[in-house]
Structure 1
Amino acid sequence: MNPAKLEKKFQLFYESPNNVPPPYHLEAAFEFDSFLTDTPTVKCTIQYIDRDDFSREELLAEGLNIEDRFEWTGALPIAWRNRLEDSFRMFKSGSCNPRDEEPFITLEAADTTTALPVILELDDTLIQEFMQAILETAGKEMPLYLGFQFADEDGMWVRIEGELSFFDLSFRYSKDGHETLRFTDDWKGLQELMSVLFIGEFVFEKGVEELKPKTEFAIYPGDGKWYVAGDTWFRPSGNKGYFDLIEDKLRTLFTI
């Protein structure tokens, strides 16, 4: 989109792919103001579609927001403004006609002209992260709590635990049980770690709430349990370098 159009109020519209069923299917609208200034703001409206057949208990069991409609207005963090701006500048003029497996994503400028993503998958992921960030800061969802136990390059065992904040785009954590909290702002590195980590298989029934051994490669992926590599946590089929890759990324993020 022409950068000049980002200087005025504009809107981003998003809808889940048609093949995403209730209670997960949603529509969202984001209205941006003062986007290219030092004080950008955003108004977000999320509407969940066709949830009439689901009870409160069923929604809670799925870990979902029980409200059909959600609205929030507030300051847009500069880190998020920069991420979105990089994406929006790549949008091209056109109208959105998605296939059933594709989301509806459209930017509408103040003059009502519209623009679309060039790489749909990347912008879909970005917008979903942005919605997660807003739900988090509005108190509708908790930040993701993660834990890692691994050996550093000297063979010393390290345990990292803390909160991954989508709103702040950072990870605030303690190391080896110390109260001192640290931050890593390498969001790209954290994303790369998550993209690899979550393709593994976690055996929930055999995970443990408290990890006692201090010399096992283990992960706490935010579901309330620890999983040990090769015991309750397994690499994807055919991916022989899975565990080595994750250890390398952990060492880069937290010990180098």
Structure 2
Amino acid sequence: MNVKISYQTLQLPPPHAFAYTLDLSFVNDEVQIAYELEFLNRDDISREEIEAEGFSENDDYKWEGTLGNEWASLLHESLQNIELEDESEDFNIYLHVEMSENGETRDGMVVLAEEWDYKLQELIQAIYEKAGIEKPLKMLIQAIAGNQRAFYEVSGSFEKRAARINKTEISWEALHDLMADIYTIDFDQEPVKSPTKDGLWVDPDGESGYQRFEDQAGPKAEDIKKRILQALEV
């Protein structure tokens, strides 16, 4: 199977607006990938405006390489079952797929664009990890209650689609659910190196310091905290 995926943001202004293509070929137990990212409409703004948003003058990127069976099997099965339509009602993204297999071709706009958008973000994160641009996910958590203190290290490799809590393997889906709860907060407070106050303390990148979950998670903090603690006790 050979597949071309074309993606473009439709509502984002520069310097955030971007488009990318993914050319996929499935060979044995691997998927061969050509990835090309281009940022759009930056001629309309100044270099100072671009840099103020944390970008550089040229953030375009190209990569060619392979990912293993963890991605090859998932993508092959998902693409075989993908729903396509002639026109999309999604006003936020353009997501088009062309594919050919055994002499047959299909193309169209992706029906479940939001679901596929998330899946493709994970694929691109796996590419950046394989390329050495991004590190695997690592998060440190402490749960403090009086004199009791529990430590957890959550790790995940997008390239391998593998996750652990401390030394125990968990499913990729379990990592999804855990991260969805943890990232209900924005981690924008001043980090603490050695927390002492009772609560759930999260170091989102495993090296910058802890922030107290309850201080930022809003009125549902306790319910979410219970789910997180249950997920951590594997």
Q: 1:29 aligns with which of 6, 21, 36?
A: 21
Partner of 2:97: 107
Secondary structure at 1:241 match in 2: helix
Partner of 1:83: 74
Summarize the alignment of residues 234-253 of structure 1 with structure 2, pairs less than 5 Å apart: 234-238=216-220, 240-251=222-233
Partner of 1:219: 202
Within the alignment, does 1:157 sit opposite 2:141 as a pair? no
Q: What CA distance in whole angstroms lies between the structure 1 residues aligned with 2:15 and 2:126?
A: 20
Sort the Cα spacing of 1:22 and 1:75 in 2 relative to 1 into closer, same or farther, 3 A: same
Gaps of 5+ in 2: none
Secondary structure at 2:42 match in 1: coil
Partner of 1:19: 11
Q: Indicate conservation of the 8 Å contact 2:85/2:110, yes or no.
A: no
Q: What CA distance in whole angstroms lies between the structure 1 residues aligned with 2:75 and 2:58?
A: 27
Q: What CA distance in whole angstroms lies between the structure 1 residues aligned with 2:137 and 2:52?
A: 17
Gaps of 5+ in 1: 1-5, 176-181
State the 1:100 CA deviation: 2.6
Sort the Cα spacing of 1:131 and 1:172 in 2 relative to 1 into closer, same or farther, 3 A: same
Partner of 2:171: 186
Sort the Cα spacing of 1:83 and 1:95 in 2 relative to 1 into closer, same or farther, 3 A: same
Compare the two structures and name the one with the higher strand fraction.
2
Summarize the alignment of residues 44-55 of structure 1 with structure 2, pairs less than 5 Å apart: 44-52=35-43, 53=45, 55=47
Sort the Cα spacing of 1:91 and 1:202 in 2 relative to 1 into closer, same or farther, 3 A: same
- Report the TM-score, using the length of structure 1 for normalisation: 0.74
Secondary structure at 2:218 match in 1: coil
Secondary structure at 2:114 match in 1: helix
Secondary structure at 2:30 match in 1: coil
State the 1:82 CA deviation: 2.6
Sort the Cα spacing of 1:65 and 1:203 in 2 relative to 1 into closer, same or farther, 3 A: same
Q: 1:196 aligns with which of 157, 161, 181?
A: 181
State the 1:139 CA deviation: 2.5
Sort the Cα spacing of 1:115 and 1:65 in 2 relative to 1 into closer, same or farther, 3 A: farther
Q: 1:169 aligns with which of 161, 184, 189?
A: 161
Paired residues in the alignment total: 228
Sort the Cα spacing of 1:58 and 1:145 in 2 relative to 1 into closer, same or farther, 3 A: farther
Q: What CA distance in whole angstroms lies between the structure 1 residues aligned with 2:21 and 2:220?
A: 41
Q: What CA distance in whole angstroms lies between the structure 1 residues aligned with 2:78 and 2:60?
A: 27
AA of the residue aligned to 1:157:
R
List structure 1 segments (4+ residues) > 4 angstroms apart after TM superposition: 56-61
Q: Indicate conservation of the 8 Å contact 1:90/1:117, yes or no.
A: no
Sort the Cα spacing of 1:78 and 1:54 in 2 relative to 1 into closer, same or farther, 3 A: farther
State the 1:61 CA deviation: 6.0
State the 1:65 CA deviation: 7.0
Aligned identity (percent) is: 20
Q: What CA distance in whole angstroms lies between the structure 2 residues aligned with 1:59 and 1:80?
A: 34
- Offset from partner CA, 1:40-97 (integer Å, 9 cap, x none): 21111111112343548954863x5764321111112211223323431232343344
Secondary structure at 2:29 match in 1: coil
Q: Indicate conservation of the 8 Å contact 1:171/1:185, yes or no.
A: yes
Within the alignment, does 1:133 sit opposite 2:118 as a pair? no
- Offset from partner CA, 1:209-245 (integer Å, 9 cap, x none): x124396421112283311233xx3323456511111
